[in-house]
Chain A
Amino acid sequence: MVSEEEIIKVAKLMKIDLVDHVEHVNRIKKMLEYFDILDQIDLSSEDITSQEKMLSELRKDEFIPNNKKLIKSLKNFREHYVRAPKMN
């Protein structure tokens, strides 16, 4: 059983302040309890598979000039740098 403290800790790590934390925590707990169904399936002989692509199939790794519109859409930037608040 996942505890309320664990969920609040993860929320903090994800940089989310839980205002109405009771409802959020209850819903997340219900979802995680439902995910416990994954304990009931035998996966002992299963591997995790993934789709792979050859490097030659990918687009060229080449420099594409910066789209200046993207920089202009930022609220805080100076020259080529994005400005962020200070870290303590």
Chain B
Amino acid sequence: MNLKTSILDYIDDVKSGSYTVEEFISATIQRIKNIDGDIHAYLSLNDSAIADARIIDKKIAAGEQVGTCYGFPISIKDNICITGTKTTCASKILENFVAPYTATVVNRLQNEDAVITGKTNLDEFAMGLTTEFSAYGPTKNPWNLKYVPGGSSGGSAASVAADECLASLGSDTGGSVRNPASFCSVVGLKPTYGLISRYGLISYANSIEQIGPMTKTVKDCGFLLNIIAGQDSNDDTTIDNKQSDYLKNIEDGIDEKRVGIIKEMTTDGLSPEVSAATKDAIQDFEKLGANCEEISLPTIPYTVAAYYTITSTEAGSNLARYDNIRYGYDLDSEGYEYNSYISKARAQFGPEVTRRIILGGFVPSAGHAGKYFLKALKVKSKLISEVNNAFEKFDFLISPTAPVQPFQFGEKIDDPVTLMLLDYNTVTANLTGKPAISVPYRIVGGLPIGMQIMGNNMNERSLLQAAYALETKTELPEVPL
């Protein structure tokens, strides 16, 4: 039995009787127990995973109808709710919060007989790029334990890369699926805004965040998307995807497709290794038959500031509910005055969340909104026009996912601007609502580099075709664990 297998190969193996679901899930749980002390991808495990596997095995043995997942193991970022399980958002303020309902994405997976392995680590409330802001300690990069795994879905990415599951669900507000996917050498998709239900995702910045799949292969990403995408009556921002089959024609290639190389994301600020890999990726696209041409999107240098302004504002509002009256930890209200009680409760927030809430109060406030928040919204509008115009000419827009490779713990945490700029290549897809995918492309010096492909709204099928084509040009080593 090979835990490095893909979802699609796993399903073939289970169907052919090579091993049972219980055998695979047991081996996966054992792997987690063996290595997760070092990786710290998980915050909690599903104690009934093996029992869940047995139920699916019984259905297979009895010839009953089995869900399309056939019990493959999947981890879930710990800001996505599952009934009766802790959902901490990697925050002390939700340390003992047990979700009273299940997110639509998890319901859909469970209805198709996926087995949840556990909940994965993240930067507190998904605010960060390294998992160093988790209240429960950082996740380590499986490629080198001294290096960050990216974030905020760092636990999800590491769990897939370290073969502690076959796939994971993360959430992407400014690159939080794609950045750790790039840093850990897995596939990560930020879908079109509205393609996947956010019901049950604990809100950070509602207007731009999306849940996204993280997998070992592009085909697995399409497989997962088939299950979790589509309209949900519990989330009015969801879009009818006409039950698209994201695996259909995935091998069709990108011959004659028009690929725009985003100038602002491929010139300044890249490390030499990422720059060299990007040039090679462009050559690969050309070898695959695509017509590549540089395109300038002049609004991009302003997107990081606009992104942090908008998300801080929404975070300041969304996190107001953690006042220990509605949500919070156990603190008796007797003897406290209202405001001091809430302040006392909010002292449980970690440093980054505290700062974002303050920023979120500042940038939209009277006297400052014109300088920050309203300008940020206009930057967003200008960017949408610019990118829409680009898609008149191109089928895809490409860049490296992150301007640098993974770095060591503590290396960048003291400089907030350097940390923000790690989002430079990813926030455009969030601000415009476009789908974007990170594809593992190269390992240099033992550390991964991912390439990002952006598509037009609801064009995930062709985006996955392009991602699959690029994937066929790569031959990457196995993670050294």
The complex places the Cα of A60 from the Cα of B309 at a distance, in Å, of 33
Q: List which B2-35 residues lie within 8 A (CB) of chain A.
A: none
The complex places the Cα of A30 from the Cα of B332 at a distance, in Å, of 37
Partner of A15, one of B328, B332, B343: B343
Contact call A46/B337, Cβ cutoff below 8 A: no
Contact call B305/A35, Cβ cutoff below 8 A: yes
- Is A22 part of the contact surface with B, judged by Cβ < 8 Å? no
- Is B308 part of the contact surface with A, judged by Cβ < 8 Å? yes
Contact call A24/B326, Cβ cutoff below 8 A: no
CB distance from B115 to the nearest CB of A (A): 24
Contact call A38/B100, Cβ cutoff below 8 A: no
- Is A13 part of the contact surface with B, judged by Cβ < 8 Å? yes
Q: Residue on B with the closest CB to A34?
A: B417
Q: A13-B361, A32-B362, A85-B336 are contacts. A46–B420 as well, Cβ < 8 Å? A: no
A80 contacts which chain B residues (CB < 8 A)?
none
Contact call B333/A83, Cβ cutoff below 8 A: yes
- Is B98 part of the contact surface with A, judged by Cβ < 8 Å? yes
Partner of A75, one of B309, B330, B351: B330
- Is B65 part of the contact surface with A, judged by Cβ < 8 Å? no
A30 contacts which chain B residues (CB < 8 A)?
415-417
Q: A37-B305, A59-B233, A86-B338 are contacts. A73–B100 as well, Cβ < 8 Å? A: yes
Contact call A46/B378, Cβ cutoff below 8 A: yes
- Is B38 part of the contact surface with A, judged by Cβ < 8 Å? no
Contact call A14/B316, Cβ cutoff below 8 A: yes
A39 contacts which chain B residues (CB < 8 A)?
371, 375
CB distance from A14 to the nearest CB of B (A): 4
Contact call B100/A37, Cβ cutoff below 8 A: no
Partner of A58, one of B236, B324, B377: B236
The complex places the Cα of A88 from the Cα of B304 at a distance, in Å, of 41
A31 contacts which chain B residues (CB < 8 A)?
308, 355, 359, 416-417, 420
Q: A10-B361, A86-B337 are contacts. A35–B381 as well, Cβ < 8 Å? A: no
Q: Using an 8 Å CB-CB cutoff, how does the interface string of B276-309 with A read, 1 for contact, 0 for none?
A: 0000000000000000000000010110111011
Contact call B338/A87, Cβ cutoff below 8 A: yes
Q: A24-B351, A57-B236 are contacts. A41–B299 as well, Cβ < 8 Å? A: yes
Contact call B377/A48, Cβ cutoff below 8 A: yes
- Is A1 part of the contact surface with B, judged by Cβ < 8 Å? no
CB distance from B354 to the nearest CB of A (A): 6
Centre residue among A48, A59, A88 by max chain B CB count within 10 A: A48
The complex places the Cα of A30 from the Cα of B305 at a distance, in Å, of 12
Q: List which A43-86 residues lie within 8 A (CB) of chain B.
A: 43, 46-49, 53, 57-59, 67, 69-70, 73-76, 82-86
Q: List which A4-44 residues lie within 8 A (CB) of chain B.
A: 6-7, 10-11, 13-19, 23-24, 27-28, 30-32, 34-35, 37-41, 43
The complex places the Cα of A6 from the Cα of B343 at a distance, in Å, of 18
CB distance from B25 to the nearest CB of A (A): 28
- Is B95 part of the contact surface with A, judged by Cβ < 8 Å? no
The complex places the Cα of A88 from the Cα of B342 at a distance, in Å, of 14
- Is B112 part of the contact surface with A, judged by Cβ < 8 Å? no
Q: A24-B351, A32-B362 are contacts. A67–B346 as well, Cβ < 8 Å? A: no
Contact call B417/A16, Cβ cutoff below 8 A: no
Contact call A16/B384, Cβ cutoff below 8 A: no
A43 contacts which chain B residues (CB < 8 A)?
375, 378-379, 382
- Is B226 part of the contact surface with A, judged by Cβ < 8 Å? no
Contact call B362/A17, Cβ cutoff below 8 A: no
CB distance from B370 to the nearest CB of A (A): 10
Partner of A38, one of B101, B323, B343, B372: B372
Q: Residue on A with the closest CB to B193?
A: A51
Centre residue among A13, A35, A69 by max chain B CB count within 10 A: A35
Contact call A16/B357, Cβ cutoff below 8 A: yes
Contact call B325/A84, Cβ cutoff below 8 A: yes
Partner of B361, one of A14, A23, A32, A84: A14
- Is B148 part of the contact surface with A, judged by Cβ < 8 Å? no
- Is B374 part of the contact surface with A, judged by Cβ < 8 Å? yes
Partner of A53, one of B236, B324, B355, B378: B236
Contact call A14/B98, Cβ cutoff below 8 A: no
Q: Residue on B with the closest CB to A73?
A: B100
- Is B243 part of the contact surface with A, judged by Cβ < 8 Å? no
B302 contacts which chain A residues (CB < 8 A)?
37-38, 40-41
A83 contacts which chain B residues (CB < 8 A)?
325, 333
Q: Using an 8 Å CB-CB cutoff, how does the interface string of B357-387 with A read, 1 for contact, 0 for none?
A: 1111111010000011011111101101000
Cross-chain pairs A/B with CB under 8 angstroms, 15 sampled: A10-B358, A10-B365, A11-B361, A14-B316, A31-B417, A34-B304, A35-B305, A35-B308, A38-B375, A39-B375, A41-B299, A43-B375, A48-B378, A59-B236, A82-B325
CB-based closest 10 A-B pairs: A69-B100, A46-B378, A43-B378, A87-B338, A14-B361, A85-B341, A85-B333, A15-B342, A48-B377, A85-B336
Query: Given known contacts A6-B362, A38-B302, A75-B332, what 15 new A-B pairs fall within 8 Å (CB)?
Result: A19-B347, A28-B358, A28-B362, A34-B420, A38-B306, A46-B382, A53-B236, A59-B233, A73-B100, A75-B331, A82-B325, A85-B334, A85-B341, A86-B338, A87-B339
